[in-house]
Amino acid sequence: MRSGRRRDGLVLVALALYAAPFFWQALTSLRPDAELLPLTHLWPSRLTLVHYDAVLRQSMMPRALLNSFGIALLSTALAVGLGALAAYALARLPVPGRRVILLGMIAATAFPQIATVSPLYLLLRALGLRDTWLALVLADASFTLPLVIWLLAGFIREIPRALEEAGAVDGAGRLGVLRWVVLPLVAPGMASAGLLAFLFSWNEFLFAYSFTASEASRTVPVALALFPGVFEVPWGDIAAASLLASLPPIVIVVAFQRYLVRGLLAGALRE
């Protein structure tokens, strides 16, 4: 057993080393400016919160965090809301051509964003949606919605038909079965799909960079990429901003790991 414990410990150390770039960035965010360039010692002589102060008080990040949060939540709601209904239809209802439609969903997740960014840009501009939350909510939905539908269709198919039939026998119509039998059972799957949708929306960069123009709708990745530096790059501030930008992903990985893993595996294993 002891060798097993030691081995487990070594693996943990190895993985901690794997995540070292992130911990280094965290350390950088606490390192005083004077000790950033050039790097002479691994450990700083003292830790400081001045970078976080600068980021939270003097930069666009707080507003960007709000934008990102709102957009990701709304986009996830849209994707899961519409996606659950569509997934049920594709998985259980005799919609003609549903195999083709489902295949189309899968293909849609493979669309390169660089191809759709120019027409979407023109479309959003024509609709007057430039620099608004709605623009990004819709743009993000273009790739999270097919993903959610694909995942949920698979999860719904895993529910034994007997349960649904029992519901039908009890007098509930199709919609009732959906609402009281299927949805509660697929709720963990919806959580997985929703978490993935939220994560993708939070991390999304290309659309956000192209469709936003000011802090009214700038999301966190864009704010980070456009972090202002007058002469020299403020590496400490950028590190602090990076840590703030990583908070939701960290929370998801730490607190919702089970759902995240389930979503990732479901997508890959269902081929």
Partner 1 sequence: MTDRRLGWLLLAPALAVLGGLTVYPALWVIWLSLHYRIPVFSISRWAGLDHYAFLAVDPRFWSAAWVTAVFAVVSVALECALGLAIALGLRGQRRARRVALGLLLLAWALPSVVTAKMFEWLYHPAGGLVNFMLGGRLINWLGDPALALPALIGADVWRSSPFVALLCYARLLTIPGELYEAAHVDGAAGWQSFARITWPLVRPLLLVALLFRTLDALRAFDIMFVLTGGGPAGSTETLTVYAYRSLFQTLQVGFGSAIGVVVFALVMLVAVAYLRLIDAEERPA
Partner 2 sequence: MIPGPGRSVVSLGRPTLLLLLALGLLSSGCGERPAAGAPVTLVFKHAKILGPSDPVPGLLRRFEAEHPGVRVVSEALTWSSDEQHQFYVINLEGGTPPFDVMMLDVIWVPEFARAGWILELTPFVPPAEIDAHFPSAIEPARENGRLWALPWFMNVGLLYYRSDLLARYGFAPPRTYDALVEQVRHIRARESDARLDGYLWQGKQYEGGMVNVLEALWANGARLLDDAGRPFPDRERARESLAFLRGLIESGISPAWVTAADEELTRRPFGDGRAIFLRSWPYALDLFELPDSRVRGKVGVTALPRLAHGPVGAASTGGAHLAVSAGSRHPALAVELVRFLTSEAAQRAMTEGAALRPSRPALYHDPALVARDPSLPALLGLTERGHPRPITPYYLMLSTTLQPEFSAVLVGRKSPERAIADASVQIDHLRRAIRP
Residues 132-191 that bind partner 1 (CB under 8 A): 138-139, 141-143, 145-146, 149, 174-175
50 binds, among partner 2, partner 1, none (CB under 5 to 8 A by kind): none
The position carrying tokens 């990429």 is 225
Peptide bond into 96 cis (omega under 30): no
Helix spans in the chain (H): 2-18, 20-28, 50-58, 61-92, 98-109, 113-126, 133-157, 161-169, 174-177, 183-203, 206-211, 220-225, 235-245, 247-255, 257-269
Of the ranges 29-37, 78-86, 97-105, 236-244, which one interacts with partner 2 (CB under 8 A)?
78-86
Distance, in Å, from the CA atom of 188 to the CA atom of 259, rounded to the nearest integer, reads 7
Q: Quote the least distance from Cβ 238 to partner 1, whole Å.
A: 6
**Contact status, residue 87 vs residue 156, Cβ threshold 8 Å:** yes
Query: At a CB cut-off of 8 Å and minimum separation 6, what does 162 contact?
Result: none
Distance, in Å, from the CA atom of 77 to the CA atom of 166, rounded to the nearest integer, reads 30
Choice between 162 and 269, CB closer to partner 1: 269
Looking only at residues 144 through 183 of this chain, which bind partner 2 when binding is defined by CB under 8 A? 166-167, 170, 172, 179-181, 183
216 binds, among partner 2, partner 1, none (CB under 5 to 8 A by kind): partner 2
Rg of the chain over all Cα atoms, to the nearest angstrom: 23
Binding letters toward partner 1, positions 62-81, x by CB under 8 A: ----------------x---
Looking only at residues 10 through 29 of this chain, which bind partner 2 when binding is defined by CB under 8 A? none
Q: Does 87 bind partner 2 (CB under 8 A)?
A: no
Distance, in Å, from the CA atom of 189 to the CA atom of 174, rounded to the nearest integer, reads 20
Number of residues in contact with partner 2 under rule CB under 8 A: 39
**Which of 230, 254, 268, 269 touches partner 2 (CB under 8 A)?**
230
What single letter denotes the amino acid at residue 204?
A: E
**Which of 26, 81, 113, 205 touches partner 2 (CB under 8 A)?**
81
Q: Quote the least distance from Cβ 172 to partner 1, whole Å.
A: 13
159 binds, among partner 1, partner 2, none (CB under 5 to 8 A by kind): none
Query: At a CB cut-off of 8 Å and minimum separation 6, what does 200 contact?
Result: 140, 143, 144, 147
Distance, in Å, from the CA atom of 112 to the CA atom of 47, rounded to the nearest integer, reads 43
Q: Quote the least distance from Cβ 162 to partner 2, whole Å.
A: 11
Q: Quote the least distance from Cβ 151 to partner 1, whole Å.
A: 13
Residues lying near partner 2 in the complex (CB under 8 A): 70, 73-74, 77-78, 80-82, 84, 125, 129-135, 137, 166-167, 170, 172, 179-181, 183-184, 187, 190, 213-214, 216-217, 226, 228-232
